[in-house]
Structure 1
Amino acid sequence: MTASVKVGVLNDMADLSDLDDGATGPGDITDWLEREIGILRKSGRLTAPVEFVHAYGLGLPSGTAEAVERAYRQLADAGVCLIVGPAIGDNALIATPLAEELRIPTINWAGAERARSRYMFHHQVGSHEDESLVMARHMAWLGARRLGVVYDISPIGTRHLKYLQDEAGVLGIEIVATEGLSPMADDAQEQVHKVLDKKPDGFVYLGLGLSASPAATALAHAGWEGPKIMNTAGLRGYHGDFARACDGWFYIDMHSDSNRTLQAVMAELGAPPQRALATAKGHDIGRLVAEGLARAKDFSREGVRVGLEQVKWLPAAEGEEGTLLGFGIQDRGALKGRYLVVRQWLDGQSVEVSSLN
């Protein structure tokens, strides 16, 4: 009997203390991995049984770097040949040197372009670098020439700010005020009012998103009515009351209504429109893992690393129609093409927005 292939799933959004009776908790994508592996098994391209090994470490910003490292090493000790995770950019940066030290091919699904290396593959769920360019260009298209910014004081927020400043300089946009706040802030009145004192004609939020709703609330209370945009922090609108708190905000998303691969998967699953993002993301991560295993000549860690490098030119469910998935010998960024999409929260619904980006 063929030995099972062990795949680790590192969940940096949950801690064992948060879980009941072995539940997988928030941030788990095992169902999608199983679905895409099952498709290749039915086709005969992947015959070895796959065993999933889970590790939980509540990472930044609400947890610790140590928890992420502990979870990663737990999976390494379990003998996995591939790790999927982390999902938060700050934690992906923590895991990258571990992937190199332990030589375990790893696919993070976060926004940190710097979380790439020989063994660290990157499935971009947003981008600290690319998103800010798209935001700056969209604000320029809207006619905003003086931007005010509030941002998380964190690797995510400061990285976004740097790239926003760089692109604003290229476009001739002035950033008239920047105010930092804690990623865990539940009040942003002071920072927002300091920015508004500089009379911007466009407003930007940059960060993980826990502080986005307080910033949006403060802006609404101030009665400010100009164009406002946030990075993929706006994806939090798919849960809870965030969408209504951020009504009218443009934001960067990962799915487009025009993507035929996404529409086909949603039709097959009978998924409602509210599940479009989760479907696109889950499908693409699952397919990368399944194809990487199917293309590996053996299931050693080196074999799987080489297998992932052979994954190329697959139609992605994320992004606009024509976006592709794949890696390469020195290519660790999975998504190619227009994978970032400008959308807007209106009356609790996400609406795709056309622009000249």
Structure 2
Amino acid sequence: MPARLKVGILNDMADLSALDDDVPVPGDITGWIEREVAAVQSAGRLNAEVEFIHAYALGLPTGTAEAVEQAYRQLAESGVSLIVGPAIGDNALVATPLAEQLRVPTINWAGAERARGRWMFHHQVGSHEDESIVMARHIARLGCTQLAVVHDLSPIGTRHLKFLELEAKALGMEIVAEAGISPLADDAEAVISTLLPSRPGAVVYLGLGLSAPAVARALGKAGWDGPRIMNTAGLRGYHGTFAEACDGWFYIDMHSDANLTLREVMERLRASPRQALSVARGHDIGRLIAEALARSSDFTREGVRLGLEQVKWLPAAEGHEGTLLGFGVHDRGALHGRYLVVRQWLSGETREVA
């Protein structure tokens, strides 16, 4: 009889009271994991049945840290050998000490580099540290030396700001104005009015993105049309009216049009260009998990943790061509190389910036 193991999926973006069996849950990546697991099973590399267990929580910033902790403990108590999630940086920071305490191998797919440990692995969907460096260097290439910064009043926003300050100083740039904003703000006119008198050459937004449209509207109302850039908050442009509200903004993305691995997967799935980000991210997370299970000597939590450490040098669909996936004995960051890509929203479409 083949072995059987459970994999937990922690969705920290779902409101339990609003779940509907007939509507896909936002942020669910189970299908991508199932696809890659099936591939290693078909190849005879994984002789085990995999059962997926789901837990839902409305985490930060609209929900609570307690909801995330409760969902994590629910999965741990169900006997899973691996947990996938959370996806929001603030919630990944909540889950990290739990992973270490309960000794459950976990892969978060968020931007929090601090959400790593012996048991917590990190698939970077952006980075609070790396993104600010890429943004500063892009602004420098545009010839701007004076920046105004709006940042969420949250661990995400303040962490981004710290690394932007360090890189700006290294590049000879100056932050001439800086202001915090609520992560849930829908009006930023007062904040923007405090920044523009400093006559910045560029405006930077740092945060989760819920307040970014308000910042964009306030800049437009003020008649300011200089260079504008945001972190991976700009990924929200793939849904709803965000791209329209933030038209013209540069932002940090996770996929490149020139990535050959992504092209191959897109062609195989007959995916549309609009699906490139979700395909790249889903493929890479799914492959990490499938390869870890295939390389595990047993399906205890310790065995799966060691299996994760043995995943190395896989070509990534995310990032620029040449980006690699893998972990190591003391390496908990999955993506290696130029995994961050500068793109721009123009007329509702995303365009890669050379």
Regarding TM over 0.5, the answer is yes
The aligned residue for residue 110 of structure 2 is 110
- Output one character per residue of 1:254-282: Cα deviation in whole Å (capped at 9) or x when no partner: 00000000010000001000000000000
Q: What's the secondary structure of 2:199's corresponding residue?
A: coil
> Displacement of 1:21 after TM fit?
2.9
> Displacement of 1:3 after TM fit?
3.6
Alignment TM-score, normalising by the size of structure 1:
0.98
Q: Alignment RMSD, CA only?
A: 0.8
> Displacement of 1:24 after TM fit?
5.2
> Displacement of 1:191 after TM fit?
0.6
> Identity rate of aligned residues, in percent?
71
The aligned residue for residue 135 of structure 2 is 135
The aligned residue for residue 152 of structure 1 is 152
> Displacement of 1:38 after TM fit?
0.7
Which one-letter code corresponds to 1:268 in the other structure?
A: R
Tell me the distance in 1 between the aligned counterparts of 2:16 and 2:9: 14
The equivalences for 1:39-118 within 5 A come to 39-118=39-118
The aligned residue for residue 344 of structure 1 is 344
- Aligned CA distance change for structure 1 residues 101 and 24 (closer, same or farther; 3 Å): farther
Tell me the distance in 1 between the aligned counterparts of 2:163 and 2:225: 25
**Is 2:211 the partner of 1:211?**
yes
**Is 2:2 the partner of 1:2?**
yes
Does the CA contact (< 8 Å) of 2:3 and 2:47 recur in 1? no
Alignment TM-score, normalising by the size of structure 2:
0.99
The equivalences for 1:217-256 within 5 A come to 217-256=217-256
Tell me the distance in 1 between the aligned counterparts of 2:153 and 2:183: 6
Tell me the distance in 1 between the aligned counterparts of 2:111 and 2:140: 23
The aligned residue for residue 259 of structure 2 is 259
Q: What's the secondary structure of 2:48's corresponding residue?
A: coil
> Displacement of 1:15 after TM fit?
2.6
The equivalences for 1:11-26 within 5 A come to 11-21=11-21, 25-26=25-26
The aligned residue for residue 29 of structure 1 is 29
> Displacement of 1:4 after TM fit?
1.6
The aligned residue for residue 172 of structure 1 is 172
Structure 2: gaps spanning 5 or more residues? none
How many residue pairs align between the two structures? Answer: 354
Which one-letter code corresponds to 1:317 in the other structure?
A: A
Which one-letter code corresponds to 1:311 in the other structure?
A: V
- Output one character per residue of 1:75-117: Cα deviation in whole Å (capped at 9) or x when no partner: 0010000000000000000000000000000000000000000
> Displacement of 1:18 after TM fit?
1.6
Tell me the distance in 1 between the aligned counterparts of 2:21 and 2:245: 34
The aligned residue for residue 293 of structure 1 is 293
- Output one character per residue of 1:163-200: Cα deviation in whole Å (capped at 9) or x when no partner: 00000000010000111000000111111111111110
> Displacement of 1:20 after TM fit?
1.5
Does the CA contact (< 8 Å) of 2:310 and 2:328 recur in 1? yes
> Displacement of 1:325 after TM fit?
0.1
Tell me the distance in 1 between the aligned counterparts of 2:240 and 2:23: 21
Tell me the distance in 2 between the aligned counterparts of 1:321 and 1:87: 24
Q: What's the secondary structure of 2:223's corresponding residue?
A: coil
- Aligned CA distance change for structure 1 residues 16 and 22 (closer, same or farther; 3 Å): farther
Q: What's the secondary structure of 1:179's corresponding residue?
A: strand
